[in-house]
């Protein structure tokens, strides 16, 4: 796990962010090795797990080791499993947001929190298939294009938009509501930079997944392309791509913080790309 921790220094405290996936025993074992950071905060950037017990484990361990914890949902938290009985769409999201609140974890539904010199803003925007080539003018065409390379997200079978008519409509609603909340936040604290936290990347040009390049259509929405400047972001954090990396746009730092599946972070470790054992200054873009 130490290979994928990223730290954003704020005074004498830190916000530590990570994307985890507790469906896997290896990840659960590593998660329970977390050590106390009583003055620090932890960001859980989505895809923590697919079952309520995964969220309970993540939040209980996180809250026992960190002063503050923030969470935003990823697509895996929104999966309806088993299909016939699980909550769908907004109800599934609210179910997991309620679990977070029971543990004292901040969610996109809660007021944003001032943390030293910044405001930590977890958000939830989903995607609308607009991260696609310009010649593809519809969702159906974009999905067909992805299928040409045998690329189809499990979302198509497991992630429902209820009560919205489509994922695109749900995304549009989420983006509008989130923009209103962020506008209000900036108006109330115009000099305070934000740490924007979203599972999906806010910009299409940050989607770097060469092995499954056409998966990009499930990776975000162009409606958020300028949010890093529009909402005075100091750092933008996402956790969807499974390619940990650092990028800069318009002077704003973007962090993709996925821990991913055990085989992925073990590849990093085995390649000698993980963080050294001895104390060193933070080094960005160590992998990806």
The angle, 0 to 180 degrees and rounded to 10, between the axes of the packed helices 52-65 and 89-102 is: 30
Question: Left if phi > 0, otherwise alpha if psi is -120 to 50, otherwise beta: which for 11?
Answer: left
- The CA distances from residue 33 to 9, 27, 108, 236, in Å, are 22, 10, 27, 27
Residue 103 has pLDDT above 90, yes or no: yes
Write down the residue that tokens 């800069």 correspond to. Answer: 248
The model's pLDDT over 163-178, given as tens digits with 9 standing for 90+, comes to 999 999 999 999 999 9
Which pLDDT belongs to residue 33?
A: 78
Kindly list the domain boundaries of the chain, sorted by start residue.
2-270
The model's pLDDT over 24-63, given as tens digits with 9 standing for 90+, comes to 666 667 777 788 899 999 999 999 888 898 899 899 999 9
Tally of CB atoms within 10 A around 152: 14
Instruction: Compute the average pLDDT of residues 241-257.
Output: 92
Written out in words, the top-level CATH class of the domain with range 2-270 is alpha beta
Instruction: Compute the average pLDDT of residues 132-143.
Output: 96
pTM: 0.84
CA-to-CA distance for 19 and 239, rounded, in angstroms?
5
The model's pLDDT over 172-205, given as tens digits with 9 standing for 90+, comes to 999 999 999 999 999 999 999 999 999 999 999 9
Hey, what are 44's tokens? 């859980």
E strands, the chain, in order: 6-10, 13-18, 37-44, 66-71, 113-115, 118-122, 194-197, 233-238, 245-249, 252-256
Q: How confident is the model at residue 89 (pLDDT cuts 50, 70, 90)?
A: very high
């Amino acid at each position: 796990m130490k290979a994928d921790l990223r730290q954003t220094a704020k005074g004498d405290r830190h916000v530590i962010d990570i994307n985890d996936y507790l469906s896997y025993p290896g990840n659960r074992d590593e998660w329970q090795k977390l050590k106390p950071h009583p003055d620090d905060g932890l960001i859980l950037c989505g895809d923590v797990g697919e079952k309520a017990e995964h969220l309970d484990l993540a939040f209980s361990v996180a809250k026992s080791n960190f002063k503050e914890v923030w969470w935003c949902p990823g697509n895996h938290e929104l999966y309806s499993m088993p299909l016939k009985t699980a909550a769908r769409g907004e109800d599934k999201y609210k179910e997991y947001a309620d679990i977070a609140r029971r543990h004292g974890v901040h969610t996109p539904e809660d007021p944003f929190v001032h943390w030293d010199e910044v405001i930590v803003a977890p958000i939830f925007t989903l995607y609308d298939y607009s991260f696609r080539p310009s010649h593809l003018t519809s969702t159906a065409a974009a999905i067909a294009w992805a299928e040409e390379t045998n690329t189809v997200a499990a979302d198509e079978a497991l992630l429902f938009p209820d009560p919205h008519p489509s994922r695109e409509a749900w995304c549009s609603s989420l983006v509008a509501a989130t923009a209103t909340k962020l506008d209000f936040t900036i108006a109330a604290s115009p000099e305070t930079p934000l740490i924007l936290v979203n599972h999906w990347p806010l910009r299409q040009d940050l989607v770097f997944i060469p092995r499954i390049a056409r998966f990009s259509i499930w990776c975000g929405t162009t409606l958020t392309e300028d949010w890093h400047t529009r909402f005075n972001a100091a750092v933008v954090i996402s956790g969807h791509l499974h390619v940990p990396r650092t990028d800069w746009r318009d002077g704003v730092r973007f962090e993709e913080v996925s821990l991913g599946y055990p085989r992925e972070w073990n590849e990093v470790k085995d390649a000698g790309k993980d963080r050294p054992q001895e104390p060193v200054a933070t080094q960005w873009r160590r992998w990806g």
